Amino acid sequence: MTRHLPMSGPSQGYVLKAEYYFSQEWFDAEQKNLFGKTWTFAGLESQLKEAGDYLVVDVGFHPMLVTRSQDGRLNALHNVCRHRGAKMLLECGQAQGISCPYHAWRYSLTGDLTHVPQKSTQFPDLDNLDWALLKGSVEVWDGLVFVHTDSAAQPLPQWFAGLDERLARFRPSRLQEIDVRVYPMKANWKFFVENHIDWLHLYYLHSNSLKDFSHDTGELTQHGPHWTSFEDAFEGQALDAASRRPSLKEIPGLQPEDSFIGAHLIFPNLALLTSPASFALVKVRPSSPETCEVEIRTLAMPGSSMPNEGFSELNQVMEEDRSAVERLQQSVRSSAFSVGPMAKRWEESIVKFRQAYCGYMDL
């Protein structure tokens, strides 16, 4: 049975079957074949300053840990006890070792098995060296920690290869977190990601909330499966932080073209929002076939704070997006649901996202 169909219309690409947005079977396949085989944003390196600090993150079906061990190194470990397979740590925190609450097996921060209760009587032949935690991969991109389930994963710089160097100039490692908020969505995660890289909807869905921006000047650039996009304000609408957001400090070292507003995607589910004074990480977490959570972590220069008007503008845009993607979810089971021709320029990113997605899902 054909699982994807060539699109008609100005832009050629793929239309995903409607069931891919609500099927539990397909959702499970995504956890294994997509999220389990790509790099996942785990958190900020600033959360791992001291030995014993650790992050907990689910990567597809894989519970993972990132630890800072006594030697100063970061370690990616499967958060699954080697005895009976229980998930061990549930929340990010600080510990001198890893202990499974089920039968009290203990591991070092590098994953070595260090203690087995009643070993001499119940496990006389057990060799601790054979039962270390399984390892993944962890790498840091300018203060952002990424984890992979595979210990021999493609190096992160290769995964990021081609991403616009303009992103590197923001240097998130020198920024601090000033706001975190989570938006629950009654929609499949792909609907939100596609909405994020959909330039066409800016003209209409956000005609009031983003009225200061000239969408016609948009620059959309593909980098492998990833995307960067920037847009300028209308003439006379200042984008500098001092005039728009006095409580936000300009990020030094940016070029004039970086004064544009940016909306980017690190495939498959990490969106970025950039401005001359902020760098926001938007992680789209699938929670079920028809729901997801959108976590937005905003970074800015030390001493900055998010102004009240910034909260209200962000909330307005997010509520508009929530309404759109939930409307899609409400109709996706209808026999009348279909996808027509895609805009030649402003929806090309969606077509390319689906092509990359199909590659991982073996379609």
pLDDT digit string, tens, across residues 77-103: 999 999 999 999 999 999 999 999 999
Instruction: Specify which residues 225 forms β-bridges with.
Output: none
Among the residue ranges 17-31, 127-141, 339-353, the one predicted with the least confidence is 339-353
pLDDT digit string, tens, across residues 244-302: 556 889 999 988 877 788 899 999 999 999 999 999 999 999 999 999 999 999 999 99
Q: Tell whether the model's pLDDT for residue 6 goes beyond 60.
A: no
228-266 burial, b at 16+ Cβ within 10 Å, e below that, comes to bbbbbbeeeeebebeebbebbbbbeebeeebbbbbbbbb
The mean pLDDT of 29-53, rounded to a whole number, is 98
Q: How would residue 27 be classed by pLDDT, with cut points 50, 70 and 90?
A: very high
| pLDDT of the residue at 13 | 53
| pLDDT of the residue at 163 | 81
Query: In whole numbers, what is the pLDDT of the chain averaged over residues?
Result: 90
| pLDDT of the residue at 38 | 98
Q: Tell whether the model's pLDDT for residue 25 goes beyond 60.
A: yes
Q: How would residue 59 be classed by pLDDT, with cut points 50, 70 and 90?
A: very high
> Could you give the dihedral angle defined by the CA atoms of residues 172, 173, 177 and 180, in that order, rounded to the nearest 10 degrees?
60
| pLDDT of the residue at 311 | 74
| pLDDT of the residue at 244 | 54
Alpha helices by DSSP H, listed for the chain, are 24-33, 119-122, 156-159, 165-168, 189-196, 241-244, 308-331, 348-360
Alpha helices by DSSP H, listed for 54-169, are 119-122, 156-159, 165-168
| pLDDT of the residue at 294 | 98
What does the block give as tokens for 13?
């690409």
User: Rounded distance, CA 123 to CA 25, Å?
Assistant: 39
pLDDT digit string, tens, across residues 195-249: 999 988 988 889 888 877 777 777 888 999 999 988 875 444 444 544 455 688 9
Spatial strand order of the sheet with 106-107 comes to: 98-99, 106-107, 113-115
Angle (CA) 182-188-190 rounded to 5° is: 95
User: Rounded distance, CA 281 to CA 298, Å?
Assistant: 6
| pLDDT of the residue at 355 | 93
User: Rounded distance, CA 201 to CA 195, Å?
Assistant: 8
Q: Are 265 and 196 in contact (CB under 8 A)?
A: yes
| pLDDT of the residue at 237 | 46
| pLDDT of the residue at 51 | 98
| pLDDT of the residue at 166 | 77
Q: Are 351 and 342 in contact (CB under 8 A)?
A: yes
Angle (CA) 353-357-362 rounded to 5° is: 150
The reported pTM is 0.92
What does the block give as tokens for 267?
């495939």
Q: Tell whether the model's pLDDT for residue 8 goes beyond 80.
A: no
What does the block give as tokens for 176?
């601090």
**Which residues, at least 6 apart from 236, have a Cβ–Cβ distance to it below 8 Å?**
none
What percentage of the chain's residues is helix, strand, coil (to nearest 5)?
25, 30, 40
Instruction: Specify which residues 14 forms β-bridges with.
Output: 6
| pLDDT of the residue at 151 | 98
pLDDT digit string, tens, across residues 102-158: 999 999 999 999 999 999 999 999 999 999 999 999 999 999 999 999 999 999 999
| Domains of the chain and CATH, by start | 4-37+164-360 (3.90.380.10), 40-152 (2.102.10.10)
| pLDDT of the residue at 246 | 63
Q: Are 181 and 296 in contact (CB under 8 A)?
A: yes
Q: How would residue 182 be classed by pLDDT, with cut points 50, 70 and 90?
A: very high
